[in-house]
Chains A and B, each alone.
Chain A
Amino acid sequence: MTILVIAEHDNKALAPATLNTVAAAAKIGGDVHVLVAGQGASAVAEAAAKIAGVTKVLSADNAAYAHQLPENVAPLVAELGKGYSHILAAATSNGKNILPRVAAALDVDQISEIISVESADTFKRPIYAGNAIATVQSTAAIKVITVRATGFDPVAAEGGSAAVEAVGAAHDAGISSFVNEELAKSDRPELTAAKIVVSGGRGMQNGDNFKHLYALADKLGAAVGASRAAVDAGFVPNDMQVGQTGKIVAPQLYIAVGISGAIQHLAGMKDSKVIVAINKDEEAPIFQVADYGLVADLFEAIPELEKLV
C-alpha cells in the first residue's frame, strides 16, 4: 500500500493540519507520499520532505495551481492518485473543496472527516453534528478520505529526509479563476491548532467587548473563537466560528464565555480535554459538558480571570 497525502499550504508554509493527516496515513500503514501542488512552493516541498515518515514528496509547481482551484488541482490528484491505495487530505476548506472532485473523477465515494483508523479500509467518523459515531468500511478500489485533524496527534515536522520529485503537466481547466482574497490577520495561534481556546458568544453583547477575551487570550497564549450567534451578530468575522459549520477544535483547554451551548456549537468543541463555561444562566446547556462551570457575569469574571492567570 502506498498513500498519497495532499499537503495543505499557502505556497509559503506547510499548514500544521498536514502533520495530522500524515499521522492518519501512518495508522493505515505503508509508504506515505506527499503532494505539494502550488506555485513557487519549493519551501513547502522542502518542509514536507522533512516530515517524519514521509518517503517521497511530489512537487507540482505551476501557475495553474497557485490558488488551489479545484477544477485544476483535482485532475492532477486524480491522475497521480491512480497509482495509490489511499488519497488523504485534511478536512480543511481546501481539502473539502478538492477531494470530492477527485473521488468523482476516480468513480469512488469519499469518506469524510475520519476521526480514527480501524484498519486499512475501515474508519470512524462523526455524523449528526457529532451525536453519533459511524464505523464505515470502504469497498472502493482507491480510498479517498478527508481527515479531521483533531482526531490524530500530529507526526513530527522534522526527522524525515524524503526525496522531492517534480511531477505533472499543468491541468488548467480554464473554467474558473481566482479574483481575490481577504485573509484575517492575527498574531494569535491558529484556532484549530491552539492548545487553549477562549470563545465568546452572544453574551459578549458587542464586538468591542471581545477585547476582554483578547486580553485573556494573550495572557494565556490562546486563540480566540466564537459561536455562530456572535458571528451572525457581526461581533467577529466568520472564520472565528467554532461549531458544526465552522471550525472543529480539540484544545487542552476550551473556555466558553457567554455561550449557551447549542448542539451545533458543541459539535465543534466537545472533544476538548478540559471545558470551562462562564455564563450567568445556570440552566445553559454548556454546563452539561463543562468540567468547570462558573455562574457569573462575564464582564466581572473575565477581567478578574485575566488578572489571576
Chain B
Amino acid sequence: MKVLVAVKRAIDPNVKVRVKADGSDVELNGVKMALNPFCEIAVEEAIRLKEKGLASEVVVVTVGSSAAQEQLRTALALGADRALLVETNALLEPLNVAKYLSKVIDQEQPQLILFGKQAIDQENNQVGQMVAQLIGSGQATYASAVNQVDGQWVVEREVDGGSQVVALAMPAVVTCDLRLNQPRYASLPNIMKAKKKSLEIIAADTLGASVKEHARLLSVIPPAVRKAGINVGSVAELVDKLKNVAGVI
C-alpha cells in the first residue's frame, strides 16, 4: 500500500527570526531553510511503516517554489521512494495548498496521508484537516502512535488532558506530533542515491484546483519586548519581591 507524505520547506527551527524594517513580513532572504521538523517526523513514520512491511511505496509531496526541491531531496535521502513538487510562487494559503494536495491524492490513491501537525513558520495547523475534509476521509491529528489493525488505521493522539485512540477507515489522514518518533539522519551514501530518485515537477495550475485569496497580510511586527528583569541574591529576597513588589503571591 502507498503512503503519501506532505512536507513543507520552512525556516530552520534554530534560526532567530527578524521582522523586516518596513513591517511587511519576516526577513527570509539569506536565512537557512529546512524541512519543517514535524514533516521530518511524518517522513520518518512513513519509512518505518515501509520497513515494517505495512507500506510498499513512500511518496513525498510539497507545494511551493522551485527551491523546495532541496527539501524533497532531503526526504528522498531519508528513504522516500519518489517525490512530487507542485510548483507555484503564489502565497501558500492553507486551503489552496490543501486543494492542490487533494488533487495529487486523487491521482496517487494512497491509503495513508501523513502530515506534520503544523509548520513552524505560519503555525496554522490546518492543512491536514482540510485535506481530510476535501477527500472525505477520517483524520487523526497530533499522532503519537500509528498502527494498522483489521484494515483500519488505529492512531493514538495527544489531546489536552492526556491521550486518545481513534480508528479510521482507509484512506486516512494522520498529522504527526513530536513524540511519534525520533527522525533519523540522512547518511552520505543515501544523500548521493537520493539524487538519482524520481522528482517530478507539476505546474500547480495544471491540477485544476479552484484556488483563491482568503486573507491579506497587513503587517508584521516584533512582539512586545519585556522590560529587563533583575537577579535576586537569595530565596528570601525572591519571596519578598513576589509578595511586596510584584504582588503575585
Contact = CB atoms under 8 A, between A and B. Distances in A.
B220 interface: yes
Nearest to B164: A181
B214 A109 contact: yes
B238 A104 contact: no
Interface residues of A, number: 87
A136 B220 CA distance: 9
A137 B165 contact: no
Contact of B239 (A70, A139, A309): A309
B221 A71 contact: no
B17 A109 contact: no
A173 interface: yes
B151 interface: no
Contacts of B189: none
Interface in B120-174: 120-134, 136-142, 144, 154, 157-169, 172
B179 interface: yes
B158 A238 contact: yes
Contacts of A63: none
Contacts of B191: none
Interface in B35-58: none
Contacts of B188: none
Interface string B208-248: 00000111111111110010011110111011011000101
A137 B103 CA distance: 28
Contacts of B136: 175
Nearest to B141: A97
Given A128-B120, A137-B215, A295-B231, A308 B239 contact: yes
Given A74-B133, A103-B126, A111-B215, A131 B223 contact: yes
Interface string B106-132: 000000000001101111111111111
A94 B139 contact: no
A232 B179 contact: yes
A105 B231 contact: no
Contacts of B223: 126, 130-133, 270
Given A129-B123, A239-B162, A276-B242, A70 B249 contact: no
A307 B148 CA distance: 52
A131 B17 contact: yes
A274 B164 contact: no
Nearest to A273: B248
A263 B14 CA distance: 8
A252 B160 CA distance: 21
B162 A108 contact: no
B219 A134 contact: yes
A239 B232 contact: no
A309 B249 contact: yes
B158 A290 contact: no
B161 A184 contact: yes
B231 A293 contact: yes
Interface in A21-80: 67, 69-71, 74
Contacts of B241: 292
Given A97-B129, A180-B165, A139 B213 contact: yes
B121 A127 contact: yes
B16 A175 contact: no
A122 B230 contact: no
Given A181-B163, A253-B249, A112 B124 contact: yes
B95 interface: yes
Interface of B: 11, 13, 16-17, 19, 26, 93-95, 98, 117-118, 120-134, 136-142, 144, 154, 157-169, 172, 177-179, 213-223, 226, 229-232, 234-236, 238-239, 241-242, 246, 248-249
Interface of A: 67, 69-71, 74, 92-94, 96-101, 103-105, 107-113, 122, 126-140, 173-184, 196, 220, 228, 231-232, 237-239, 244-245, 247, 252-253, 263-264, 270, 273-276, 282, 287, 289-296, 301, 304-305, 308-309
